[in-house]
Amino acid sequence: MHTISQIQQYVHAFGVWGPVMAILLIVLHSVTFIPSEVLTIADMVLFGPVLGALYAWVGAMLGAYLAYYLAKWLGRPIVNRFVNKRALKRADDFVRYRGAWGILVLRLIPLVSFNALNYALGLSGLTFWSFTWTTGIGILPAILVIALLYKSTTGQHDAMIALAIIGILLLIILMIRLWLKKRK
């Protein structure tokens, strides 16, 4: 049985290819509907919370782009085999009525499948830019929570407080934006 330290040394011995492989694993994961948290935690264990979070975020973004463009390329008949028609219709309606800010809210709800949403949005009228910023921001809370948990178990109390403050600020900004939009 290998220790975590030995596994870290092994992965780091690959140089730049270690992080590249970690990112590619998350990209490959994006075409499945299996939660990515295990890979995110592995990245943090292998590369530390900051680089691990960065690699997980980059991999998730690249994977999201892959699913988004696969859906555009393959079209509804193929995607309907993996994402039910009712969910696709709901995504279409949601984009039409709520726009990018609504998608950001969906990204922040843990029960909404991140990968299924990527496919559904690839078939919706959501622009590439809106997909990019809602996905990029929407990924952060889950990664930050995992980083917080990782740091808290390794004794980094200050990092946990800083990440919690960032998360709270992001939620406050989102709530203000939604309140202003409703007021209009």
In this prediction the pTM is 0.73
Q: What is the pLDDT of residues 61-97, one digit of tens each?
A: 999 999 999 888 887 777 777 777 787 777 778 788 8
Residue 141: exposure state from Cβ atoms within 10 A (0-12, 13-18, ≥19): middle
Q: What is the pLDDT of residues 94-115, one digit of tens each?
A: 788 888 888 888 888 777 778 8
Instruction: Supply the pLDDT for residue 54.
Output: 92
Per-residue buried b or exposed e for 74-86, using 16+ beta carbons within 10 Å of the residue's own CB: beeeebeebbeee
| Rg of the chain (C-alpha set) | 18
Closest to 82 in 3D by CA, of 33, 28, 30: 33
Average pLDDT, the chain: 80
The token pair at 166 is 């960032």
Residue 129 has pLDDT above 90, yes or no: yes
Please report which confidence band the pLDDT of residue 33 belongs to, taking 50, 70 and 90 as the band edges: low
In percent, the amount of the chain with pLDDT more than 70 equals 83
More confident position, 21 or 155: 21
The token pair at 12 is 């780091």
**Which amino acid appears at position 53 of this protein?**
A
Q: Indicate the domain borders of the chain.
A: 4-183
Q: What is the pLDDT of residues 152-163, one digit of tens each?
A: 666 555 555 655
More confident position, 137 or 40: 137
